[in-house]
Amino acid sequence: MRTSSALVLFCSSLAVPVFAQDAQLSGAVRDQQHAVIVGAQVNIVNEHTGQVLTTRTDKGGLYSLPTLDRGLYTIQVSAEGFRGEEFPHVNVDVGAKLLQDVTLSVGSASDTVKVNAEGSGIITSDATVSTVINRQFVENLPLNGRSFQSLITLAPGTSVVPSQGVGSSGEISVNGQRTEANYYTIDGISANTGATVSTAGYPGAGFSGSTPQESALGTTQSIVSIDALEQFRTSTSSYAAEYGRTPGGQFNFSTRSGTNQWHGTAFDFLRNDALDAKNVFDTTKLPERQNDFGGTLGGYLRIPKLYDGRDKTFFFFSYEGLRLTNPVAATLYEVPSQALRASAPAALQPFLNAFPVSTSPDLGGCTGAFTGCANPDLAGLAYLTVGYSAPSRLDTTSIRIDHSFSERLRIFGRYSDVPSQSVSRQPTDLAQVNGTVRNVKTVVLGADSILTHNLANEFRVGVTGNDYQSSRSIDNFGGATPLAISSAPGLTNGDWMTFFMFYGLYPYYLIEPQSNRQRQVNVVDSFTQTLHRHTLTYGVDYRRLITSETLPPLWEVGFFYSAASILGNNPDGLYVYTQDINMKARQLEFSAYAQDEWRVSDRLSVSAGVRWDLNPPPNDVNGNTPYTADQITNLATTVAAPKGTPLWQTRYANFGPRVGVAYQLNQTPGHESVLRAGGGVFYDTGVALSAEGYYGIGTTGFASYSAPFPATSAQVQATPVPSASAPYNAPIYAFDPHLNSPYTGQWNVALEQALGDKQSLNINYVASAGRRLLVQRFYDPETLGNTAFSQGKGLYVTTGGASSDYNSLQIKFNRKLSRGVQFLASYTWSHALDDDTSNLVVYQQERANSDYDIRHSLQAAGSFELGGRYNNPLLAYALRHWAMDLRESVRSALPVDVLDGSSVVSTTGVTANFHPDRNPDQPLYLRSDAYAGGRTINPAAFTAVAGEGNAGRNIARGFDAVQTDLTLRRDFPIHDRLGVQFRAEAYNVFNHPIYGSIYNTLSSGPALFGQTYNTLNNQLGGLSALYQVGGPRSMQVALKLHF
């Protein structure tokens, strides 16, 4: 009889780089007396493509195959004088580590024993925290919008949180970290190319490559479609030295290739509002239409009479098209009242009439013509509650070609083209139509080569283009009167205009048509070398990102603090900007790493490595690098640094050590137990805010007029051209000249237990500490006597002055597909603390619960085949081939920060957002069915005070979120591999209301403060609200032909 250890699939080992797609196979070959066998031959055969890799054991009886594609394999081990052993149907995950120790028995080499190599899949070599999900599970699950956000949150410690919008900020927080700290890759190449056009002078984190390349709808098809995905892996803590560039989640997508069998699909997913429930805030159901269609085709490349690529050349083609009319739930808005429109000066009426019309009374409760008002702070405003529907479309096309020259050299190439469009309405003025067109193109080339018996190389190069265009216009929605920018003297329809009623809920519109483009080149190269019990991995990762944007020459802004200022046409601010921005921001990033995985013994493995990240400050290809400040230690004397001064000094000492230890407590197959511990230092690029200076001095001129709105042509023409001379008429966006790169220390201790050969349970303590995190504050140096600054045109300063801490207990249960059941569930208890959660400007830095402090999260997904045995043929046909898929999401509430107002601190010149006092004799919440969600934050629990009160940051909580998504599917076999699948999917199947945003400022007034005003799917942003968690029940049906 032979003996062998169970095959252990390392779902996410420390040797998996962010760009590595290849897995590794290693182990020892011994005889029955435990003596090593030198020269034993090990073959691994890809069961789908027929490709074979071969190696032999060294003088220590060890072998290694360092470059394996994902797929299904047969492992064959043989030696002269011994019976061979064969391990069929071994599933290899992307970047996985496979350990196969083999004991051969004496006998004829022509005799082969087949061995069941299936193992529990627990990690036995390191401390990586990761989750792997295969293609079949992905295809079965109900993924709303066929996008991967719901899939990503299956990993413990991972949550979808409110976003500023696609490209402006991220939407996934991993272990309490910032949403811009995540790194996405597709086939080993960076997919962090999510630039969007700037809004009101804020370029967004996507300019610096800190957000993923999502579509105009916020979906992930522009990274990869579900149908082209082979496997998805997320690594969330204590990953190897190959991982890096950012300290958050590392999300790795790998695409499908063809096989020796031709296979394909054709599908159509349909939705209609007739199948859906209406939003809890809607009075009527809004129109909804969806047609999501496409197909795939893959196989070996064959040109009749010319070329037969069986076992050598393969292709895979995928297309997905989406046509969508998307409902946006009714929300309470404020618009100019009819009384204000009628009483306003004639010059202002066209701009007030550019808002929808409300028949509700004026909120001021005035007895006369805006006199004797009960609520003077709201005079001139009226409530409007309305929803709408808007069109979107998307087309995803990709083609991948793989070719094997020999067992030592394999190459592949992939091209994808994803144009997408969406239309939405400005939340502060529904008559403003915001159109978005995005086109993402990606080319990836890769080569895997075995250079010697113990040295392999993996090379990837990718080029990505992201073109983004936005249009802004005013139409007649809700009775509004269309408005052209050219109606303002001196402006043309290509210029910008902002009209702002700066009180109440701040109704405004900003017409800012523009476009930009982003280009990325990413080159990665890694070597893997085995030296007896050591596996060495070392490599480099180079990335160049260039983002271009041009803006119109003029921008006019008018804002009013009260109805009185509107009635007199006395703007509280009338600004005209001249803009001369020829942006071509260049960002260069380079990383090098080395990693040693040492198999000390059959039970003990140790991993150690170091990563070096070099991230110089961005500059401009055209020589237009933004201005910064000469120093920030004494703001009373701060001035602009000379043109061309680097934003900060390059740091060359960003060395991040990593270490991991794994000890197998029990090696009995099906009962393996592994104790793991690890940690490391993970640097961030620190460039998320680097493009903001393009909207400061030198590129923006400014004039402020005490005159009626709009400005006259003479005033527009008199606006100074951009200048960097003092006194500055535009802000300076400065960085600490000695800015150090942000970093996060991560550590974890885990116990993983196999529960048979199909199931495992992981209990993990995961912690992290973020230090030197970016924080941006706004200062008014003129209040300190600095005459170089104009009033209101102050100084934005970015420093590494923020920190965070995270502690959690994370539990994960994983069951592989067995007896028709596959299941993955995770529970996270966590506590996240910080003094600034966002990379955006912060007006008060105070240590408290993080904005992303979600204490409890339960995520689960499962597939269940509803089979059975039936003697009656009719019953068998009717009841067999059914299956059900489940996606369950349960999480506790996000914090709510109760605010009073903002003002400038005279001693420091900093603008601060202050909190009120907490009244201890009043309950924090009031509960009644009269409130949406049955609860409101109690206005009487707070009192506004001068300066900072005692309430503190994030004192309250929003609402829990519980949602169940369900799929019921049935396969109809037609012939051999040909069949049709019917699917019916329901998202939030129980139609459980999940509430979102809350009025959190006391200035909202007691009638609104503390109450929720939308559902969670509208609060989260980023992804289209129809596809977000937290909406009303939505159903779709689908047919899929497969062969």
pLDDT at 201: 66
**703 plus 784 within the same structural domain:** yes
pLDDT at 947: 84
| Dist CA 149 CA 249 (whole Å) | 13
Domain end call among 91, 120, 149: 120
pLDDT at 987: 97
**225 plus 286 within the same structural domain:** yes
User: Does any domain span residue 346?
Assistant: yes
**146 plus 99 within the same structural domain:** no
pLDDT at 47: 81
What are 393's two structure tokens? Answer: 């479309």
User: Does any domain span residue 942?
Assistant: no
Handedness of CA 509, 510, 515, 518 (dihedral sign): negative
User: Does any domain span residue 154?
Assistant: yes
Number of domains in the chain: 2
User: Does any domain span residue 389?
Assistant: yes
User: Does any domain span residue 655?
Assistant: yes
pLDDT at 112: 64
What is the pTM (predicted TM-score) of this model? 0.90
Q: What's the chain's average pLDDT?
A: 90
Continuous H helices in 292-390: 338-343, 349-352
pLDDT digits (tens, 9 = 90+) for 665-684: 998 888 999 999 999 999 99
Output phi, psi for 176, to 5 deg.
75, 0
| Dist CA 56 CA 440 (whole Å) | 45
User: Does any domain span residue 430?
Assistant: yes
User: Binning pLDDT at 50, 70 and 90, where does residue 908 land?
Assistant: low
Range of the domain at 58: 3-120
pLDDT digits (tens, 9 = 90+) for 874-906: 777 777 889 999 999 999 999 999 998 766 565
- Range among 429-443, 830-844, 1016-1030 rated most confident: 429-443
For position 278, which CATH number holds? Answer: 2.40.170.20
**640 plus 760 within the same structural domain:** yes
User: Does any domain span residue 943?
Assistant: no
pLDDT at 420: 97
**48 plus 182 within the same structural domain:** no
**434 plus 520 within the same structural domain:** yes
**97 plus 140 within the same structural domain:** no
User: Binning pLDDT at 50, 70 and 90, where does residue 12 land?
Assistant: very low
**94 plus 211 within the same structural domain:** no
Which of 624, 602, 781, 770 lies closest to 696, judged by CA? 624
Continuous H helices in 845-964: 873-879
pLDDT digits (tens, 9 = 90+) for 707-734: 999 999 999 999 999 999 999 988 999 9
For position 46, which CATH number holds? Answer: 2.60.40.10
Continuous H helices in 267-364: 338-343, 349-352
**552 plus 660 within the same structural domain:** yes
User: Binning pLDDT at 50, 70 and 90, where does residue 20 land?
Assistant: very low
| Dist CA 354 CA 334 (whole Å) | 13
User: Binning pLDDT at 50, 70 and 90, where does residue 95 land?
Assistant: low
pLDDT digits (tens, 9 = 90+) for 589-642: 999 999 999 989 989 999 999 999 999 999 999 999 999 999 999 999 999 999
**551 plus 651 within the same structural domain:** yes
What are 673's two structure tokens? Answer: 């137990």
Domain end call among 75, 97, 120: 120
Domain end call among 78, 98, 120: 120
Question: Does residue 464 carry a pLDDT above 80?
Answer: yes
pLDDT at 68: 77
| Dist CA 641 CA 64 (whole Å) | 56
| Dist CA 841 CA 1038 (whole Å) | 45
pLDDT digits (tens, 9 = 90+) for 389-426: 999 999 999 999 999 999 889 999 999 999 999 999 99
pLDDT digits (tens, 9 = 90+) for 116-167: 655 555 666 666 778 888 888 889 999 999 999 989 999 999 999 998 778 7
User: Does any domain span residue 259?
Assistant: yes
**65 plus 160 within the same structural domain:** no
**139 plus 116 within the same structural domain:** no
pLDDT at 9: 28
Contact 340, 419 (CB under 8 A): no
Question: Does residue 5 carry a pLDDT above 50?
Answer: no
